Amino acid sequence: MSDMRIAVIGAGVMGSGIAQTTATYGYRTHCYDLSEDQIRAARELVVNGRYGLDRAVERNKISPEWARAAQERLSFGTDLAEALDSADLVIEAIPEDLGLKTRMFRRLDEMAPPEAILTSNTSGHPICALAGATTRPEKVMGWHWSSPPPVMPLAELVVTPQTSQATVDAVVQVATACGKNPVVVKENPFVWGFVGNRLLTAMVREAQRVVDEGLASKEQVDQIVVDGYRWPVGPFAMMEGASSGWGEKRSPSTAPEGAPWKRG
């Protein structure tokens, strides 16, 4: 088990899954949200959710002992100071609102230990704007998790010109230790979205245009992409599946040695 302490800010769909993941892979994790109701909902997701620990045990992905240990490493609360106390790495996962996130980064900077790294799971707001709200821009970067966090292997790590190499190295190390495959990319602060979302948006937009122009049906578009380009699913099946959670089936066979979450 690592000595590093992780604070996850926001215990919604992503935050609860992120906290579950870091706790499963050995990190003492504290997950903060605004209300007891939200904390109750997050606990329920972590234990009984579709991608939760009980389900992982049932499906023989982790042992009951691992699940119990993960729960022991994971705490929840509504006190931000408690969440940040001795945190080494902060992962922010509050709603996708730049003003809200900027204000949160200002508070994180004031309250977290000076050496703590601050990351955001924003889907596309500029990381440099969040870094600019702090006095430690070299310790700020994006960690864009894919959904659902316990399952999807990508860690899209987003750096600004000010992010230090030591910060990148530390986050790459944690992501790898959490069974993820990190990809470090830069951001264009004038365009919404990082690499993954920009590619996805372009593909989905073009697929819809092809259908709107009456050139092909949704099923035909999907078939062309799958049969012609070896994509696992087409854009329409993907959008359908994203709302019903097919990501579970697509985990790779690249988990590090000894990782509790068995792939495949």
Residues that bind ligand NAD (CB under 6 A): 9-15, 32-34, 38, 93-96, 104, 121-123, 145, 147
Determine whether 30 is an active site residue: no
- Of the residues 75, 123, 164, 181, which is catalytic? 123
Judged by beta carbon, residue 195 or residue 210, the one nearer ligand NAD is 195
Contact, 83 vs 30, CB < 8 A? yes
Give CA–CA dist 43/223, Å, rounded. 40
Judged by beta carbon, residue 11 or residue 225, the one nearer ligand NAD is 11
* Residue 103, CA distances (Å) to 8, 87, 129, 236 in order: 16, 19, 11, 37
Determine whether 115 is an active site residue: no
Q: Which residue is nearest to ligand NAD (CB)?
A: 12
Judged by beta carbon, residue 11 or residue 174, the one nearer ligand NAD is 11
Judged by beta carbon, residue 2 or residue 147, the one nearer ligand NAD is 147
Residues 6+ positions from 80 with CB-CB distance below 8 Å: 9, 32, 107, 111
Determine whether 156 is an active site residue: yes
Least distance to ligand NAD, CB of residue 41, Å: 8
Give CA–CA dist 201/107, Å, rounded. 32
Q: Report how many helices (DSSP H) and strands (DSSP E) the chain contains, helices first.
A: 11, 8
Least distance to ligand NAD, CB of residue 139, Å: 19
Which residues are known to be catalytic?
123, 144, 156, 197
